[in-house]
Amino acid sequence: MSLVEQDTRVETFFILHNLHLPRLMTQFSEMLFKRHSIRRYTQQPIPADDVKTILQAALLAPTSKSSRSWQFIVVENREDLEALAKLKPMGAHPIAKATMAVVVVSDPEKSEAYIEDATVAATYMQLQAEDLGIGSCWIQVRGRFDANNEPSEDYVQHLLDIPPYLKVECVITFGYKDETRRPVDPDKLQWEKVHIGKYTKQ
């Protein structure tokens, strides 16, 4: 099904249920199909207002018991970005050429759901960036190891003076897109992963 057909189906659903179709919601759904991890960035700087909007999204993210157990370290200095890209031997290279990276950390003392809190905030930033036309990529830190087989978390904490009690979840890279990715084909969505009412064995 094409994006247009999908859109029409959603519109029909809203009309049949006598609901006003919120235009923003349609745009949001479209954005979800178009969003992809972006690992190549142009040199174009991100306007300060957009940086603020991205960080604002993180601060707006829901947290368990409203604990706001997270904190965010914004890295824009090229030397630090290049050093951060060495947090693990594979999969961290987008950081080196990113315009900006945000390190997402959270405090287990503030919430037993500190990992989830950090994860949701990271996702909010990625979606906000996409809405602004800015590409992003999640770089996993938790559970990963650097080239010396030391935890990537220790590497990042040491590099950016992060106190050890703050657990490092991920680094999110940001920058204007220097690669084009096709939108997701709606026919490729794994609807078999969705179970209605009760779990059904496949």
Binding site for ligand FMN (CB under 6 A): 36-37, 39, 91, 94, 137-140
Closest CA to 107 of 55, 178, 167, 49: 167
Is the CB of 6 or the CB of 37 nearer to ligand FMN? Answer: 37
Distance CA 48, CA 26 (A): 28
Minimum distance between the CB of residue 108 and ligand FMN, rounded to whole angstroms?
18
Is the CB of 21 or the CB of 123 nearer to ligand FMN? Answer: 123
Minimum distance between the CB of residue 143 and ligand FMN, rounded to whole angstroms?
10
Closest CA to 119 of 169, 173, 71, 84: 169
Is the CB of 14 or the CB of 142 nearer to ligand FMN? Answer: 142
Minimum distance between the CB of residue 174 and ligand FMN, rounded to whole angstroms?
13
Minimum distance between the CB of residue 86 and ligand FMN, rounded to whole angstroms?
13
Is the CB of 39 or the CB of 177 nearer to ligand FMN? Answer: 39
Is the CB of 137 or the CB of 168 nearer to ligand FMN? Answer: 137
Output phi, psi for 168, to 5 deg: -95, 120
Minimum distance between the CB of residue 119 and ligand FMN, rounded to whole angstroms?
7
Pairing of strands 70-75, 134-140: unpaired
